[in-house]
Structure 1
Amino acid sequence: MRNIPSSEDVVQNEKKYLESLVCVNHCSGSEIRLNLVQSILWSIGLWCDNKLQDYHWHFFQKPSLFKGVLSMALAAGNQKFDVSGNMELTLNASNEIIDSKVRMYVERSAEAACKRVTDAINAGSKVDKKHPLALLASELKSIAERQLTVYHPVLRHWCAEAGVVSASILHRFYGERLEPFLKNISCLSEDVKQVLAAAILLENYLIELHSSEQVKKGVHSPLMFDFEREIGEIARPIILDWVIAQHARILEWTGRAADLEAWEPLSHQQKQAASAVEVFRIIEETVDQFFELRLPVDITHLQALLSIIFHTLDAYLQKVVNQLVDKHNLYPPAPPLTRYKDTAFPSAKKKLVEYVVLDNAVNKKLDALTTSKLCVRMNTLQYMQKKISSLEDGIRESWSAVRVFKDQTCLDEDSHWTSNGILEMCSESVDELFVATFDCIRDSAADAIKRTCELVGARVVFWDMREPFIFNLYHGDVEGARLETILPQFDRVLNNVCALIDDTLRDIVVKSIFKASLEGYAWVLLDGGPSRAFSDFDVVMMEDDLNILKDLFVADGEGLPRSLVEEEARFAHQILSLFSLRAESVIQLLMTSSEHSSGLEAHKYGDRHLGDAHTLIRILCHKKEREASKFLKQYYHLPPSSVYNGAAVEDSSMKSPLMADLIKRSASFRWSDKSSSSFRTLKKKIQDATSDFRQVGW
């Protein structure tokens, strides 16, 4: 066929002979007479036209034949009939004629494909239970994909605008059917989600097909399609309504999960509670649904989504924290102050420390806050910390790939569009949203962990071990009630806690128990009541006990760091150092204290200072020394420990005018646990200062 135009190579006689052969053809009821060559070319052209006017159908299974058939159709020339009914065969057609012919193939094949999928769409929607427009968009997308990848690389050699023609027909065909649907949208139903997402996905491929040739040449033509703009304007408010509607639903589920929580670990490996897992499942499900909408969104939608996450996790954390009790509710009340008396102390038989009487609401909470359940709570909070980070990373990744609504009123000078239509918004604005949401939740979770951890320590020492440790240590006699008698119980409690707690939390929980044990030890020394009094010989044994307690928590290097243990125990060592002083030295410290009070008022735990009046008065009350007892009797009117009968505290806390005057008249020694001077230096100063004090008559 390619050789036919080279008529000069044909022998003249052969040409005349071929032209003399007449073939009769019938077309549209008319008889057409053609010579042999014309008839062959006409027949080949008809066959090729028939195939190429619906090449999407005829070459679907064997696309490799498409290029050959198209080449044959163009080589067969352009046939047309003149006014006399004679066919004119135009060989070596111009580029304009070839472009027009290929354009005709593209138009008719696209129209035929659209008609075919329309005929099958109703049956398909019933089977797939999808909206017909969603199915239509999916089918048209498949046509556009095949046009772009299979047919366009061939067609563009003869018609550069083949992709534009095909994309325009598919866009117009679907747009005519989509417009009535858009006008009736009022909420984000399942049908709406399917249709809008499918329409946008279709437009993405049509835009790619439309701009394929321009992209290859490095030129971008203005986008001619507007599905996404129209859909964005309609979807923007209903997406926001959908996100807001999830808020109440998620809060309800979260509250129910928290209320039903029994604070038992999921398994030996998963030590967190089930409620937190459920809360994050609900959040992640909502986040997935949001991004699976595949609809244009803007920063307002992201803000609404993050707000839901914040309020959900914050509500859960508030429920967890509100179920706790203040650790100070577990501390026993300090007994009335008394002074030691040699002849009376051994005969004391009363139990002088009463149990804590708690409010019913506090007591009910405390029943549910066992040490094991507190450990599960801490594991759960730590699990939340980890999940918060992974949740943030996942949302950031999804947001970076989402198609943002093209609303010019929402853009700032730092925003711009990428080649695939994704808006790169100012990263600073988005980062601020993430920081405001997730950092605040992290801080709340960290604070909840801290409070729970402190409660674990207080619960173990002041509640679970209050009998052997708080009430019985050094009770009546130091040598007969040493710390070593309760070490097995201490060790057992620590082992149980370490088995329950997550490995990442072990050190802070053990540290909390150690700090609480030091608080309890200080309580025994300073607020132990009339049943406890210490001599210089007792102080040596008590120092040994304190060292044993430290060694227990160091655990031969497998527990807390030695440096941390020594630092935490420094105040307890300093209290014992005060007990090692003579009574007159402690009295001088009391007189020179910077505290303008008698030291008898109530005080909060954790507010003690080594040189304040509260601490020094209690040192004197628990010293087995005649000078201390004499001083307390004369200037504070404290009763002896042997006659303690449960009298009201105010009866034994009358302020001495002379003592008040002594406290006010000097502030030369301002000794606190924050002082940088060493105890030995201060002790020497006290000994020098009390040389005149011993001569004063009391």
Structure 2
Amino acid sequence: MINNNSLLEKDRKLLLDFIFKQYANVLQYSKYSIVTDHSSVDVNELLQFLQKSPSPPTSVTAPSSTGSTPTTPRGSSPNGHHLPPLPPTPTHKSSSSSSPNSTQSPPPPPSQIPQGYGVLTKEQFHFASYETSLLINHFSRPRDLVNHEEDESFRVQNEISKIKHQSFLKSLTPKDTGTPRPLYHSLTYRLWILKHIEFSNFDSKENLVFWFQRQLYFVLEGLKCIIQGPVEEKEDPNVAKLKYYAYQLECALVNDNPTGSQDPIYSNPFNVLDKFIGSIISRNSPHAKSQQQEVYATEYLNSPIPHAFPFNTNLFEDLLFYSLFEFEDDEIKFIGDEHYRVQPILKPLSTALKISSTMESICHLNCFITAYQAEPRDNHFERLRGSLNAIQKSIETNISLVQDPSTSSAHLLKNVLKRTATWLVKLLSDVHSYKGSSPAKDIGYACAIYVQSREMWSLLSSNKTVVKTTESNFTALITSSVSCHYERLIKPYRPMTVDNFSEFAESLIPDIRLTLKSYIKGFEKFHGSAASVALAEFTSKYAADLKVVFEDVYFLSPAVLQSVQSASNFQLFLEEMDLIPSDKYPPVKSYVSSVIGIWCQNQEKYFNKWFENSFKLDKFEPLDKELRHSSSVVDMFSMFYQTISTLSKMKGSLGDNFPGFILTLSAMFNTCLTVYDSSVSQITLLNQKDLLYPASINERIHNKSKVRKSLSLDKFSKDKDKEKEKEHKDLFSSTNSTNSTNSNSSLNNSGTTNLNQSATLSPVLQTQLSTISVQVMCVCVNNLDFILHNIKRYIEENSFADNGLKEKLAELFGVAEISIGNTIRQLVNMIGQRVIFYECKSSIVESLYINPSISAKERVQVILENVSPYLKTIYNHTQTLERGNDILTAVSRAFLQAMEYAILYGGPQRAFQPKDASSIEYDIELVKDFFLDRDEEGNPSGVSETSFEQYAYPLRNIIQLLMDQSSELLIEQYNDGKSHQRFTKENIACVLIHRPDKVARTFIKKKLSDSIYYSIKKGAKIKFLVQ
């Protein structure tokens, strides 16, 4: 039986050895990692643990290194002010058991440790530094040598309250365990305190955890520097294991509520951590006992475990800063030694931490950098430069000071120089918004420090001659600072899309302006092309983000257009600065040309849709007293200018494609103007203006008794003339009243026709004319004038100082300008025709030289008064006086045509004798005076005399060369086919048909069957000599 039990026990041991070997990767992160005697393990518990475990990890993934310098994961003052106490540490799921024999869940691998675990906050690190000074200055000395007054001053200097100071002393006081403990200045002393911690000394678990974390993280940071060394960047696997064991211990304390440090819930994970740290110390310590199999760090007493670099210098610098500066009214005030000597109370600390005098000087430099970063003042910078000069001088004198293998001076100086470079990049990257009042001056400071730092670095790297700093060295500094600044600017806009690109691009331009302004002045002595280098780097970074935004944009949206415009602004900004070659500009054109092409097509559709309704909505009424054109042209050009304005905002994005897009849109505008021109012609019936002219009503005179008396007034005295005028006063007033009423009615009713007019015009034309008043026609003239004026303005403004584009635009709009100009001239003439031959037909055309008349006033002046209301309308509704005069000229021309009609085509009711020629010529002079409207000095203010005479010339010839001739002479000229001024037979026949004498009537009777008679008789179309 005994043999059987022995065999079973042996088999059990072999099986357990196999299990531990097979599952080593899983068990190494559990409590089983410290088991040496496998036969003592509870098999059931082990098997349950392995069943719940995931697949064993094949490798350990180390979390990212957090660096040697303590970081501040939450907001803190850059000058070291203490922050409010941290909230309780978030609870973690603990994998430790409540008792040694309970079943444990498998622990997570190290890759599951919280990111940044084990890093002290700024406030915690300062407390830990102060605790280190207490351990060295207070606990390491005999009680009778402790200087309480000096300790109190140091406490105040470090801004530690009395209560906190007392709590530090209490928590650091060693517990009497009856066993030896590590020395106070050993790193393991804090681990020893954690092993024997009295939970009852803390008034709350929150304070316990707060204190516990500070001691644990302090040990982790110190051991990390021992394991990894000062130059290793990748985290050592042992560091990951160390963090994991510490994390397990913290979880046990926070989540499982152990009753004390001896509770297995706490002691078991602590022993795992203690043993692992012991193994690290054993491997790294020359005093380790080679025969010792298990070493616990808290029991290692051969020699104190030092605070390795850079942990030691970080602790020293933290306390040194408070001995150099104090904070007063948000100002950093220097209170240290001007010769950069360390306070006596810090000397024991520098000795214990192995800080050499050279390292002390370098720590001073680091403190001055911190002060200047927090408050860029000249006195801080002068101390910074003084410290740097002192270090450089000492190195140049004795290079061995930084090459002593027993110290870390070289590593410390390199770290400080690296930090200086990082600080310089940050300063330059945000120089225009930096706290300094003079950015250019700060850049000068930064450049000087950069030069000195490079020279010192070269001394550390070799023993050769100091390397001089050139422009190429500053180029790297500039590009780095710009890159840093750009990434900070764009961070709120990540990920970059068309929705937020515009806002970013618009904010980037003024930011770059400020940066370049500071760089040009600040780098004046160090880099002649600093602005070009900086702008090139800005552009390179911007171009990469631009590509992300536009590369896959294939559709149109307001956000896309806005982004294109902002990209254009940036391109124009680059052109304005003219600091980098154009081939280095971002290739925006290749991204946006197709999108803008789609936009142009949409604009064309929009224009076409607008034209469908423009004339329906426009009432062709003046906008106001000043702007006498109507809404349609204003709206049209508003669209034009708005569209071009939108496109012009994309000019930079389109590059050399921009003129092509201008011409594309302008061609659409040109089409719009052409359509508008033809539409005006259509609504004003311009193509039917000749229908307003009356046809001839000539017939031969049958009854001489019905012929009115001669126009001549021989031997008519002035008194008699006045008497006759008085007799007919009532008649004239009645006529005037009637004519005026008819004229006003015609104006107000948009061309209401009379009975005679309806007999000669078609019903369709009658209806059309009734809807188009003289006022509307004047507004149409104004509209076309507005278009011509804006075409010139459009070409001038939208050629963008490009002469080639300007010529193409002028050529494009040239045909439209000519067509619109012709339409204006025809429309002006039509207004004149309309006033005389339509609006005043009954009072002028049908009345002139028909009723018996005794005076020139009755013949012409009274009739001319019927034109006045229309002239008032014309001048009130034309944009310029010049254009009003043009229409007045057209009216005068039409009036002369009406006179020509009356004397040549006016029918049998109008008969003239040779002696009437002088009276008609006198009438022409009265008409001339009316339309020229001379001022007090006799100068024409209406129709120009030249224009009037040009129109009156043919009529005067008819009167002077034909009408004053006898009928016999006229017949002779007719038969010979010769006459003065080459008058035609038709002209002579027109004069003869209005002669009441027998000779003329007999001649006309004989010609009734001739073609000449047919061309002038009733119903024939009139060919006016007045043109």
What is the TM-score of this pair, normalised by structure 1?
Answer: 0.71
Is it true that 1:225 corresponds to 2:225 in the alignment? no
The correspondence of residues 90-129 of structure 1 with structure 2, limited to 5 A, is 93-96=466-469, 102-103=474-475, 105-121=477-493
Deviation for aligned residue 1:157 = 3.7
The separation in 2 between residues aligned to 1:272 and 1:372, in whole angstroms, is: 11
The separation in 2 between residues aligned to 1:509 and 1:134, in whole angstroms, is: 53
Deviation for aligned residue 1:610 = 6.4
Deviation for aligned residue 1:594 = 7.3
1:75 to 431, 438, 452: 452
Structure 1: state its 5+ residue gaps: 1-14, 213-220, 401-423, 596-608, 639-647, 654-671, 675-698
Contact 1:341 1:629 in 2 (8 A): no
The separation in 1 between residues aligned to 2:528 and 2:947, in whole angstroms, is: 78
Deviation for aligned residue 1:174 = 3.3
In structure 1, the partner of 2:841 is: 466
In structure 2, the partner of 1:12 is: none
Secondary structure of the residue that 1:338 maps to in structure 2?
coil
Summarize deviations over 1:42-67 as a string: whole Å, max 9, x none: 65563744531311236623223332
Code of the aligned partner of 1:65? D
The separation in 2 between residues aligned to 1:23 and 1:80, in whole angstroms, is: 28
Code of the aligned partner of 2:689? K
The separation in 1 between residues aligned to 2:1015 and 2:533, in whole angstroms, is: 99
Secondary structure of the residue that 2:983 maps to in structure 1?
coil
Is it true that 1:626 corresponds to 2:988 in the alignment? no
Contact 1:77 1:92 in 2 (8 A): no
Secondary structure of the residue that 2:356 maps to in structure 1?
strand
Measured at CA, do residues 590 and 380 of structure 1 come closer, stay the same or move farther in structure 2, by a change above 3 Å?
Answer: same
Code of the aligned partner of 1:523? Y
In structure 1, the partner of 2:513 is: 145
In structure 2, the partner of 1:372 is: 775
Contact 1:337 1:649 in 2 (8 A): no
Contact 1:42 1:79 in 2 (8 A): no
In structure 2, the partner of 1:485 is: 862
Code of the aligned partner of 1:329? L
Deviates more, 1:374-383 or 1:313-322: 374-383
In structure 1, the partner of 2:356 is: 33
Deviation for aligned residue 1:291 = 0.4
Measured at CA, do residues 34 and 190 of structure 1 come closer, stay the same or move farther in structure 2, by a change above 3 Å?
Answer: farther
Code of the aligned partner of 2:859? R
Code of the aligned partner of 2:994? H
2:909 to 524, 527, 531: 531
Is it true that 1:154 corresponds to 2:522 in the alignment? yes
Summarize deviations over 1:514-549 as a string: whole Å, max 9, x none: 110011111111111121112234334333222221
Contact 1:620 1:628 in 2 (8 A): yes
In structure 2, the partner of 1:687 is: none
In structure 1, the partner of 2:989 is: 617
The correspondence of residues 7-46 of structure 1 with structure 2, limited to 5 A, is 33-35=356-358, 37-41=361-365, 44=384, 46=416
1:360 to 738, 742, 763: 763
Is it true that 1:180 corresponds to 2:540 in the alignment? no
The correspondence of residues 505-516 of structure 1 with structure 2, limited to 5 A, is 505-516=883-894
Secondary structure of the residue that 1:276 maps to in structure 2?
helix
Is it true that 1:433 corresponds to 2:836 in the alignment? no
Summarize deviations over 1:11-48 as a string: whole Å, max 9, x none: xxxx9x99xxx98999xxx9653425455456556374
Measured at CA, do residues 25 and 466 of structure 1 come closer, stay the same or move farther in structure 2, by a change above 3 Å?
Answer: farther
Tell me: higher relative CO, structure 1 or 2? Use CA pairs within 8 A at least 6 residues apart: 1
The separation in 2 between residues aligned to 1:196 and 1:25, in whole angstroms, is: 63
Is it true that 1:334 corresponds to 2:334 in the alignment? no
Deviation for aligned residue 1:199 = 4.0
In structure 1, the partner of 2:65 is: none
The separation in 1 between residues aligned to 2:641 and 2:513, in whole angstroms, is: 33
In structure 1, the partner of 2:877 is: 500
Structure 2: state its 5+ residue gaps: 1-338, 368-383, 389-415, 710-753, 935-939, 1019-1023
Deviation for aligned residue 1:103 = 4.9
Contact 2:697 2:905 in 1 (8 A): yes
Deviation for aligned residue 1:575 = 2.2
The correspondence of residues 218-617 of structure 1 with structure 2, limited to 5 A, is 225-228=584-587, 231-294=588-651, 295-296=653-654, 297-325=657-685, 326-343=688-705, 345=707, 355-396=758-799, 399-400=800-801, 427=803, 429-475=804-850, 477=852, 479=854, 482-501=859-878, 502-556=880-934, 557-577=940-960, 578-593=962-977, 611-617=983-989
Contact 1:534 1:622 in 2 (8 A): yes
Secondary structure of the residue that 2:555 maps to in structure 1?
coil
In structure 2, the partner of 1:61 is: 435
Measured at CA, do residues 204 and 25 of structure 1 come closer, stay the same or move farther in structure 2, by a change above 3 Å?
Answer: farther
The separation in 2 between residues aligned to 1:617 and 1:25, in whole angstroms, is: 136
Aligned length: 563
The separation in 2 between residues aligned to 1:223 and 1:298, in whole angstroms, is: 16
The separation in 1 between residues aligned to 2:662 and 2:923, in whole angstroms, is: 59
In structure 1, the partner of 2:717 is: none
The separation in 1 between residues aligned to 2:348 and 2:791, in whole angstroms, is: 82
Measured at CA, do residues 67 and 533 of structure 1 come closer, stay the same or move farther in structure 2, by a change above 3 Å?
Answer: same
Measured at CA, do residues 331 and 255 of structure 1 come closer, stay the same or move farther in structure 2, by a change above 3 Å?
Answer: same
Code of the aligned partner of 1:570? Y
In structure 2, the partner of 1:662 is: none
In structure 2, the partner of 1:216 is: none
Measured at CA, do residues 375 and 137 of structure 1 come closer, stay the same or move farther in structure 2, by a change above 3 Å?
Answer: closer
Secondary structure of the residue that 2:798 maps to in structure 1?
helix
Contact 1:636 1:652 in 2 (8 A): no
Summarize deviations over 1:478-523 as a string: whole Å, max 9, x none: 5486223323223444344333333121221111111100111111
Secondary structure of the residue that 1:474 maps to in structure 2?
coil
The separation in 1 between residues aligned to 2:974 and 2:866, in whole angstroms, is: 38
The separation in 1 between residues aligned to 2:357 and 2:504, in whole angstroms, is: 45
Measured at CA, do residues 364 and 436 of structure 1 come closer, stay the same or move farther in structure 2, by a change above 3 Å?
Answer: farther
Measured at CA, do residues 200 and 94 of structure 1 come closer, stay the same or move farther in structure 2, by a change above 3 Å?
Answer: farther
The separation in 1 between residues aligned to 2:945 and 2:529, in whole angstroms, is: 79
Deviation for aligned residue 1:122 = 5.1
Deviates more, 1:452-461 or 1:169-178: 169-178
Measured at CA, do residues 309 and 546 of structure 1 come closer, stay the same or move farther in structure 2, by a change above 3 Å?
Answer: same
Summarize deviations over 1:594-616 as a string: whole Å, max 9, x none: 79xxxxxxxxxxxxx96212222
The separation in 2 between residues aligned to 1:391 and 1:532, in whole angstroms, is: 55
Contact 2:701 2:1001 in 1 (8 A): yes
Contact 1:539 1:580 in 2 (8 A): yes
Contact 1:23 1:34 in 2 (8 A): no
Contact 2:569 2:649 in 1 (8 A): no
Once superposed, what is the RMSD of the aligned Cα atoms? 4.1
Larger Rg: 2
Measured at CA, do residues 236 and 330 of structure 1 come closer, stay the same or move farther in structure 2, by a change above 3 Å?
Answer: same
Deviation for aligned residue 1:73 = 4.8
The separation in 2 between residues aligned to 1:391 and 1:165, in whole angstroms, is: 40
Measured at CA, do residues 342 and 25 of structure 1 come closer, stay the same or move farther in structure 2, by a change above 3 Å?
Answer: farther
